[in-house]
Amino acid sequence: MSLSTRPQWAQTQTDLTGKTVLVIGGAGGVGEGVVRAALDAGARAVAVGRRRERLDELAARIPHPQLVVDTIDALSVDLTARSAKLAERFGPFDGVIVSVASWGGQGRKPALELTDTEWNDLLASNLTAVFRLYRAFIPHLAGRGILLQLNGMSAEIPFPGAAGRALTAAAQKSLTRTIAAELGEGGPRVYEVILGMIRTRARRLAGTDDPGWIPASDVGWHVADLIAGTSPLAGNDLHYFVDVSAGPEGADSMRPLALPRPAGAAGAR
Ligand SMILES: NC(=O)c1ccc[n+]([C@@H]2O[C@H](COP(=O)([O-])OP(=O)(O)OC[C@H]3O[C@@H](n4cnc5c(N)ncnc54)[C@H](OP(=O)(O)O)[C@@H]3O)[C@@H](O)[C@H]2O)c1
């Protein structure tokens, strides 16, 4: 039974049989799409998150023998021990996909109206959480396995009313690319993937859907192609997936996001 539709741009030779993909935030809107595509590509998928009931619902929706669910909390004191336990049972991981996000409890609020507590919570639940996940799980990647962070356009552009989410997204991008540079060639591969609007189950249930948005499982097929090494973007650490028909693109092809030329630079008029 197919759990997703392989998009037209995806690589037909991608086969993850015998591979294990850990999806942190696997019961989330985007994470579920990654889980579905990984299973369709033949992998074992280990979906983790904080809430047991959300994970159990995922397992009930996807009754697949290769799906495992378990709980972890990126901010818990025992994260390192939990990651070692998961790795002992299922690792080393061919893919560790970080698909976590928190909007905080403050709702939409101008940046300078955030209280110290709200500010600190947003930093912890988005930035510190991702840092701790990298530190705990990178040691459990297979030799040429991938660490991949799913991020949003808030990493790039102002997001009025959601400053905490936007500035942590920008910092997550910086952290991920810094680790990619620090690890260099030859070891685990590290990717930052910036997404546009995603068609998620939660949005569908809330009655908001748009065929112009990107199906969550399309994101999963991009991830599968990267794990398999079949993606033409495998050599580029920064990808944008913002246009459903174009599919994922390497950073260089995103001309609108290029920095403006400094005044007086060659070619400036
Ligand atoms: N949805 C979109 O349209 C969209 C668009 C662009 C980019 N993105 C990006 O995609 C990523 C995932 O977003 P989403 O929409 O799928 O969010 P989501 O539905 O809220 O899912 C977030 C997941 O993160 C998990 N999580 C949060 N904090 C955690 C922690 N401390 N430890 C362990 N797990 C934790 C949650 O687990 P629990 O539920 O158990 O707490 C949940 O499974 C984010 O980086 C987001 O910026 C999403």
Nearest residue (CA) to ligand 1, atom 6: 152
Domain presence at residue 4: no
- Give the tens place of pLDDT for each residue, 7-52: 999 999 999 999 999 999 999 999 999 999 999 999 999 999 999 9
The enclosing domain of 65 has a CATH number of 3.40.50.720
Tally of domains within the chain: 1
pLDDT in 10s for each residue of the chain, 269 residues: 899 999 999 999 999 999 999 999 999 999 999 999 999 999 999 999 999 999 999 999 999 999 999 999 999 999 999 999 999 999 999 999 999 999 999 999 999 999 999 999 999 999 999 999 999 999 999 999 999 999 999 999 999 999 999 999 999 999 999 999 999 888 899 999 999 999 999 999 999 999 999 999 999 999 999 999 999 999 999 999 999 999 999 987 554 444 444 454 333 33
Return d(Cα 98, Cα 147) in angstroms, integer.
8
Which of 77, 82, 63 minimizes the C-alpha distance to 22? 82
| 197 CA closest ligand 1 atom index | 3
* Neighbouring-strand partners of residue 147: 96, 190
In a domain, 203, yes or no: yes
Which residue in 7, 14, 72 sits closest to 46, CA to CA?
72
CB 95 within 8 A of CB 22: yes
Q: What is the pTM of this model?
A: 0.94
Question: Could you tell me if the CB of 168 is within 6 A of ligand 1?
Answer: no
Residues 123 and 168: beta-carbon distance below 8 Å: yes
Task: Please indicate, yes or no, if residue 71 is contained in any of the structural domains.
Answer: yes
Residues ≥6 apart with Cβ < 8 Å to 136: 79, 80, 82, 83
* Residue 91, C-beta contacts closer than 8 angstroms, at least 6 positions apart: 20, 22, 140, 142
What CA–CA distance (Å, rounded) separates 162 from 109? 7
Is there a contact between 74 and 132 (Cβ–Cβ < 8 Å)? yes
Contacts of 83 (CB under 8 A, 6+ apart): 72, 136, 137, 140
Q: Is 121 in the pocket of ligand 1 (CB under 6 A)?
A: no
Residue showing tokens 């701790």: 132
Backbone phi, psi, residue 242, to 5°: -125, -10
CB of 54 shorter than 6 A to ligand 1: yes
> Which of 51, 30, 39 is closest to 217 using CA atoms?
30
| Residue 203 CB–ligand 1 contact under 6 Å | no
Ligand 1 pocket member 195 (CB < 6 A): yes
Q: Which domain does 175 fall in, by range?
A: 20-250
Does 177 contact ligand 1 (Cβ within 6 A)? no
128 lines ligand 1 (CB under 6 A): no
For residue 261, the SS3 value is: coil
Mutating to test ligand 1, I would choose from 23, 24, 48, 50 the residue with most ligand atoms within 8 A of its C-beta, which is 50
In a domain, residue 66? The reply is: yes
Cβ of 179 closer than 6 Å to ligand 1, yes or no, is no
Distance 100 CA to ligand 1 centre (A): 4
DSSP type of residue 2: -
Nearest protein CA to atom 21 of ligand 1, as residue: 28
